[in-house]
Structure 1
Amino acid sequence: MKQMHKKYFLITIFFLMLDILSKYLVFNNLNLYETKKIVSVLNLFHVHNYGVAFSILSNENLWNRFFLSILSIIIILIIFKKILKSNKRDKKLAYCLIIAGAMGNLIDRIYYGFVIDFIDIHIDNWHFATFNISDCSIFIGVVIYIKNTYKIIKKQ
């Protein structure tokens, strides 16, 4: 394995392990729908998401679980192929973060049948969608990808 690919592989594994560990701790230490206040704008709130972002496609049936798992696997494989072809560091980092997040949520979906969400950011009684480390990883990866793409477009 090339040294460069090894570095990105390790980044992916780090974020995947961070996600798995955080979900394990939440699943085993907080009851479903239990809230633990961390700071004034951040709670841990254990919920199960049967869908994708913002609970879209959240019916709790086997077909949905199978469809979302297959879709995740396809996306992971496509992005993995892009990592191997890309020669830009920012894009590789973005792809690795997206893959780590997709894999973390895929593992939940296959193992539990749902994704464990627990990060609850709020201001007073207004709560943003509850999410997890995988979702953060995907979001940061997409932001890096867009930023990198914008720089390329701007140069032209």
Structure 2
Amino acid sequence: MATKNRFSSKPRSGITPWIGIAAIVILLDQLSKITITKLFAFGESHPVTSFFNLVLAYNRGAAFSFLAAESGWQRYFFTAIGVVAALVIVYMLQRHAGQRLFCWALALIMGGAIGNVIDRVLYGHVIDFLDVHFNGWHWPAFNIADSAIFIGAGLFILDELRRVNR
């Protein structure tokens, strides 16, 4: 009787590993934000290196504080975008679960999007704490969720470039 080889080197194509990666991003993001909010007062900054600080900042807008000065509607708008993005990503992961680089990109983006949605729902703003600076110029503060989205976007571009060059 033939049996299924459980130790086959054939890659799995299920969605579970990708959801797991997104969950790890969410967990690291939320734990880091909880830690920073417990250790820092709003606006407080501590130098780590000559070009990097930890700082507690709130962002009511999107990337680079886009729409942060609006009256509050942006909270719901960016929350909805994050939820819709996560649902679309789950659908795409189901359809393309065997494409490793593409799914890594999607999982990181989804984890980051959900991490920031959690902040918007719970606090009305996103908690940022990573501050990179050089020669008096500061990059807008960001967090682990933002970093995951950035890395995921980079992997997505890399995957597309590889696909085009085939």
TM-score (norm 1): 0.93
Counterpart residue number, 1:99:
110
Q: Which residue of 2 aligns with 1:44?
A: 54
Aligned to 1:22: 32
Aligned to 1:118: 129
- Give structure 1 regions of 4+ aligned residues with deviation exceeding 4 angstroms: none
Instruction: Answer 1 or 2: which has greater helix percent.
Output: 1
Give the drift of 1:63. Answer: 2.0
Provide TM-score, normalisation by structure 2.
0.88
Between 7-16 and 106-115, the greater mean CA deviation after superposition: 7-16
1:32 equivalent to 2:42? Answer yes
Partner of 1:134: 145
2:78 alignment partner AA: L
The residue number in structure 2 matching 1:78 is 88
Q: What displacement does 1:33 show?
A: 0.5
What's the offset of the Cα at 1:123?
1.3
> How far is 1:71 from its partner?
1.4
Q: Quote the RMSD (CA, aligned, Å).
A: 1.4
- Residue matched to 2:8: none
Percent identity (aligned): 34
The code of the aligned residue for 1:126 comes to W
Unaligned runs of 5+ in 2: 1-11
> Which structure 1 segments of 5+ residues have no match?
none
Aligned partner of residue 39 in structure 1, secondary structure: coil
Max Rg structure: 2
- Give 1:5's aligned residue: 15
Shift of 1:40: 1.3
